[in-house]
């Protein structure tokens, strides 16, 4: 019995081997013949960046539609060429008989056919409404009445609504992403978007949500123009064969995770087995005739395999090099674009490419930038062009280099930060020159001021000696007058004038002294004992011309808080804070003037300096960036954005802390706390009252 079973299995194995040889003998010439036939090309246009339909990964086009089209091309003995364009370009090309695009994949409503020749449905999808978070749910078309609805021009939602009465305000957009951006800006209320695209965009727009059930059902189809109707018939036939064979389901399961499973594979295999046996019996008589051909083909096959292995190695090296080159170009932070003479974009890394055709993108000198004219000029002269450009408040460097007679590469690099640094450097140079100039001017002012003080002292002594003589002369001549005044009254007026001149000259001398001290270069790590109230007094003198227009109140603690620090630098901090408070406040001439308050006090062994205003205040976004270099809300009026940044640095050098509290429309309070490590503390009598330790000076100007 075992011997009999062994014999049966040997016969079955021999039969299978015979069938394999016969099948290979019959079909190998057919396959060889098919491989030698020239293949036609089908140009498949794609536009989407939405997985899993069609997108580009490391420079390789992938996706369900692309893989399905490649499989159809194999069945139609045609090579598929993938060409990527914008959605609007594809719509225009597929309607033109002269287009270089043969087939595109597009969504059509299930109830409406397009005018173009289209295939059987490929995959189902739908469109629904998307709104901002917190908006009401859209239960149907009636909830869109009166709303502003964004619709992508040419998409299947547009096709579905064409010719129908619409009770909402329709706003056409070129992309669903443009609709989402308008939704965030509040320029539309609802976006009707296709499911797959919306699923890709939602992670980038967290403030937008899906707000309805499906409103429109559609299906992906391959479409082409009328002249390619025979081609569409072949595509439909191949598509149906793929569905019948189960390959279509495998593709669906691969890219979407769903699909039908074939359950009748056993019966099909049995039928194919009996058919193969029949064919093998018929072909057995031709084995002797094909033996010689098989031997020669085997030799040729080995040669082709060796050549194929070498070619695949070369293709793999080229692909690897291409991917590396593509990764490098995509990783460059600047825009790189290649144009031809007709101003057609041949390649781009999709970074700031739209600026080149924007009407607001112009030369920094103000001349209008025309991409066509600049490209033709560079290509004709074969000379590179480098220029500084501006777009709104941003600056860019534009470089156009010829790389062939009809092609040029455009490099676009943002230089806003470099421009800001250059302006800040120029401003710092001007400020340094102004400091040197102010020191020289202060020295020159000191000389005449000293003469005035000396002369006034002489006049005061002279008036003291002239009083008795004038009194004696008046008794002898009662009608004597000085400048039309009674002699005693005239001498009194002269004394008042001398005192006023002496006070003004002394004030000029103090201001010049403060200005020279403020302009003197700072020497790091040279902190000395200083009084906080004196910093406030000097700063108020230097800003007297500005604060005279505002209501100012000062509360300075006595005895004065003493610190270890640089008085000049702290004066610079307080002057900057006073100027900022003046900019944010209303002058006395306004109906409701603002109040500016400056205080010094001691709490928990720490000394505090605070400045408070009741001006415009700041919002949270401005408050978070207030100490960033070059950030300012007054750039149009000359602000550089360096003031509070420098103040923050000086305060840190003094081991102090600055706290800013502000509310929009309520005002701002800035507190600077000097810890015990930088303070020179003195023992104060416990019985000393708060009234004795604090002096309040209220100035109403």
Q: Is CATH 2.130.10.10 what the domain over 525-701 is classified as, yes or no?
A: no
- Inter-residue contact 526 to 566 (CB < 8 Å): yes
Q: Beta strands of 225-375 (E only): which ranges?
A: 335-340, 345-348, 361-363
Fold for 332-414, please state it. Answer: Beta-Lactamase (3.30.450)
User: What pLDDT score does 608 carry?
Assistant: 92
Reply yes or no on whether the pLDDT at 567 is more than 70. yes
Reported confidence tier of residue 27, pLDDT bands at 50, 70, 90: very low
CA distances from 653 to 33, 523, 531, 658 (A): 86, 12, 17, 12
User: Which stretch of DSSP H or E encloses residue 348?
Assistant: strand 345-348
Query: CA angle, 25 as apex, 20 and 28 as ends, to 5°?
Result: 105
The bridge status of strand 123-132 relative to strand 216-224 is antiparallel
Any idea which of 119-128, 142-151, 266-275, 534-543 has the lowest mean pLDDT?
266-275
Q: Give the integer Cα–Cα distance in Å for 206 and 194.
A: 18
Does this model's pTM top 0.85? My answer is no
* Mean pLDDT for the stretch of residues 159-170: 86
Provide the residue ranges of all domains of the chain, joining segments of one domain with +.
Answer: 2-37+262-284, 40-245, 332-414, 416-521, 525-701
Helices and strands: H and E segment counts in the chain:
19, 27
| pLDDT > 90 in the chain, percent | 14
What is the average pLDDT score of the chain?
A: 78
Q: Which two tokens stand for residue 619?
A: 């919002």
Count the residues in the chain. 701
Fold for 40-245, please state it. Answer: D-Maltodextrin-Binding Protein; domain 2 (3.40.190)
The bridge status of strand 394-402 relative to strand 385-391 is antiparallel
Reply yes or no on whether the pLDDT at 689 is more than 70. no
User: What pLDDT score does 624 carry?
Assistant: 77
pLDDT tens by residue, 407-465: 988 888 888 888 777 777 666 666 666 666 666 676 677 778 877 877 888 887 787 87
CA distances from 497 to 422, 477, 506, 539 (A): 51, 26, 14, 28
pLDDT tens by residue, 169-219: 999 998 889 999 999 999 999 999 988 888 888 988 999 999 999 999 988
Contacts of 305 (CB under 8 A, 6+ apart): none
Residue 341: name the closest of 386, 393, 379, 297 by CA.
379
Q: Give the integer Cα–Cα distance in Å for 119 and 223.
A: 6
């Amino acid at each position: 019995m075992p011997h009999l079973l062994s014999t049966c299995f040997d016969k079955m194995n021999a039969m299978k081997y015979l069938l394999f040889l016969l099948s290979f003998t019959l079909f190998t010439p057919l396959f060889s013949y098919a491989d030698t036939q020239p293949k036609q090309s089908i140009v498949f246009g794609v536009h989407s960046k939405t997985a899993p339909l069609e997108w580009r990964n490391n420079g390789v086009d992938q996706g369900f539609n692309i893989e399905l089209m490649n499989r159809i091309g194999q069945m139609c003995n045609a090579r598929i060429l993938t060409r990527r364009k914008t959605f609007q370009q594809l719509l225009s090309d597929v309607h033109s008989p002269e287009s270089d695009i043969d087939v595109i994949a597009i969504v059509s409503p299930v109830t409406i056919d397009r005018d173009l020749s289209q295939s059987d449905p490929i995959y189902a999808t739908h469109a629904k409404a998307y709104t901002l978070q917190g908006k009401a749910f859209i239960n149907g078309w009636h909830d869109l009445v009166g709303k502003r609805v964004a619709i992508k021009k040419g998409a299947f939602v547009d096709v579905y609504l064409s010719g129908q009465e619409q009770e909402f305000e329709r706003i056409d957009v070129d992309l669903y992403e443009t609709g989402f951006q308008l939704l965030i800006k509040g320029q539309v209320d609802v976006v009707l978007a296709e499911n797959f695209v919306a699923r890709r965009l939602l992670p980038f727009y967290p403030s937008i949500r899906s707000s309805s059930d499906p409103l429109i059902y559609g299906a992906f189809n391959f479409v082409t123009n009328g002249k390619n109707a025979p081609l569409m018939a072949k595509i439909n036939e191949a598509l149906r064969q793929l569905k019948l064979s189960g390959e279509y389901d495998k593709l669906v399961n691969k890219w979407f995770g769903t699909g039908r499973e074939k359950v009748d594979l056993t019966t099909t295999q049995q039928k194919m087995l009996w058919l193969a046996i029949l064919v093998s019996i018929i072909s057995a008589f031709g084995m002797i005739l094909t033996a010689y051909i098989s031997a020669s083909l085997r030799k040729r096959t080995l040669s082709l395999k060796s050549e194929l292995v070498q070619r695949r190695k070369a293709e793999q090296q080229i692909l690897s090099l291409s991917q590396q080159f593509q990764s490098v170009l995509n990783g460059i932070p600047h825009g790189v674009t290649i144009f031809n003479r007709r101003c057609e974009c041949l390649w781009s890394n999709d970074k700031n490419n739209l600026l080149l055709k924007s009407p607001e993108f112009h030369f920094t000198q103000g001349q209008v930038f025309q991409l066509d004219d600049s490209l033709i000029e560079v290509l004709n002269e074969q000379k590179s062009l480098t220029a500084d450009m501006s777009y709104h408040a941003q600056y860019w460097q534009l470089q156009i280099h010829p790389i062939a007679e009809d092609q040029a590469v455009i490099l676009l690099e943002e230089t806003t930060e470099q421009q800001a640094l250059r302006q800040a450097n120029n401003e710092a140079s001007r400020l340094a020159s102004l400091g040197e100039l102010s020191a020289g001017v202060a020295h020159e002012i000191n000389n005449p001021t000293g003469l005035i003080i000396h002369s006034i002292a002489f006049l005061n002594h002279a008036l003291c000696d002239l009083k008795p003589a004038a009194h004696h002369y008046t008794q002898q001549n009662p009608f004597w007058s000085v400048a039309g005044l009674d002699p005693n009254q005239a001498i009194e007026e002269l004394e008042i004038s001398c005192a006023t001149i002496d006070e003004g000259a002394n004030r000029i001398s103090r201001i010049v002294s403060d200005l020279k001290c403020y302009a003197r270069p700072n020497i790091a790590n040279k902190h000395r004992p200083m009084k906080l109230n004196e910093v406030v007094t000097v700063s108020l003198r230097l800003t007297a011309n500005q604060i005279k227009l505002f209501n100012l109140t000062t509360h300075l603690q006595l005895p004065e808080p003493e610190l270890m620090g640089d008085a000049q630098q702290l004066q610079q901090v307080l002057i900057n804070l006073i100027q900022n408070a003046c900019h944010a406040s209303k002058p006395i001439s306004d109906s409701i003037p603002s109040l500016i308050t400056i205080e010094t006090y001691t709490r928990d062994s720490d000394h505090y300096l605070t400045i408070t205003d009741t001006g415009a205040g700041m919002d949270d976004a401005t408050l978070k960036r207030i100490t960033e270099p070059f950030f300012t809300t007054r750039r149009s009026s000359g602000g550089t954005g360096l003031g509070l940044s420098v103040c923050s640095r000086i305060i840190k050098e003094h081991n102090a802390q600055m706290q800013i509290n502000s509310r929009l429309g309520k005002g701002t309070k800035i507190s600077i706390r000097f810890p015990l490590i930088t303070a020179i503390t003195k023992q104060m009598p416990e019985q000393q009252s708060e009234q004795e330790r604090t002096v309040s000076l209220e100035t109403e100007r």
